[in-house]
Amino acid sequence: MQTLKAKKRALGSGSIKTNMRLNGGVPSVLYGEAKEALPIEVEAKAVEKLLREEGSSFIVLQLDFEDAPELNTPALVKEIQRHPVKSNLLHMDFMRVRLDERIHLPVPVILVGRAQGVIDGGVIDQQLREVQVECLAAEVPEHLELDVTTLGLGGTLHVADLAVPEGVTVLTEAGYAIVSIHAPRTAKGDEEADAEDAEGGAADES
């Protein structure tokens, strides 16, 4: 479990939060465990690095308060707000958790291997990129793997086909499709489809 440094902050106006962001901080809040919500600040660069390494936004980590070690706690990254254009971090929510409690959170799905259908000229289409799981806060998997090696043209793999570690329960419906292999559309097929669209449009006009 990774550690993220944090510090308490005072509640302030929008301009104070803007200055905090300009100085590399992210205004955040820590709540949960029947305790009062606590305004905190974390470092943007450290958060971005952690998100890249974990490959997910929903992470269980250790918040480390150097100025107030009594506040140190495991926490789940519950929500991340980003600027709609610049994509920089604007605000984060952290929820206190106990490492011995079971929690619900989304986990990324990673495809492993080269599908036989792709070797045969097909196109791979991943429809589902994360699933909801239940597990101990101390045992959150970084991702779940799905072996696509034997997946052929026209084939589909589902949630039920995932490799799931012991102690982890997948909550997403087992029948949901994760990945399929489609035959590529040929130039002739594209022309026929365009012709059908054109005929349909002409019929509508008439």
Looking at the fold, whether 76 and 136 belong to one and the same domain comes out as: no
Looking at the fold, whether 66 and 131 belong to one and the same domain comes out as: no
Q: How far apart are CA 116 and CA 133, in angstroms?
A: 29
pLDDT number for residue 162 = 97
pLDDT number for residue 173 = 97
| Count of domains for the chain | 2
pLDDT number for residue 42 = 94
Range of the domain at 147: 103-188
Residue 174: CATH number of its domain: 2.170.120.20
pLDDT tens for 131-151 read 999 999 988 888 899 999 999
Looking at the fold, whether 119 and 72 belong to one and the same domain comes out as: no
* Residue 203 CB coordination number (10 Å): 8
Q: Quote the strand ranges of the chain, DSSP E.
A: 3-8, 25-32, 35-43, 60-65, 73-82, 89-96, 102-112, 123-126, 130-136, 144-147, 156-158, 169-170, 177-182
Looking at the fold, whether 88 and 11 belong to one and the same domain comes out as: yes
Q: pTM for this one?
A: 0.70
Classify residue 196: in a domain, yes or no: no
Q: How far apart are CA 73 and CA 61, in angstroms?
A: 8
Looking at the fold, whether 68 and 107 belong to one and the same domain comes out as: no
In terms of Cβ atoms closer than 10 Å to its own Cβ (0-12, 13-18, 19+), residue 72 is middle
Q: Which of 96, 191, 85 is CA-nearest to residue 137? A: 96
96 contacts 75 by C-beta, under 8 angstroms = yes
Which stretches within the chain are classed as H helix?
Answer: 14-22, 44-54, 116-119, 187-205
The encoded tokens of residue 179 equal 């990945």
172 contacts 131 by C-beta, under 8 angstroms = yes
Q: Which of 67, 158, 150, 164 is CA-nearest to residue 114? A: 150
Q: Which residues pair with 6 in a beta bridge?
A: 42, 65
pLDDT number for residue 171 = 97
Classify residue 134: in a domain, yes or no: yes
pLDDT number for residue 196 = 56
Over the chain (206 residues), the average pLDDT of each successive run of 10 is 89 77 90 88 93 80 91 92 91 92 91 95 95 92 93 96 95 97 72 54 52
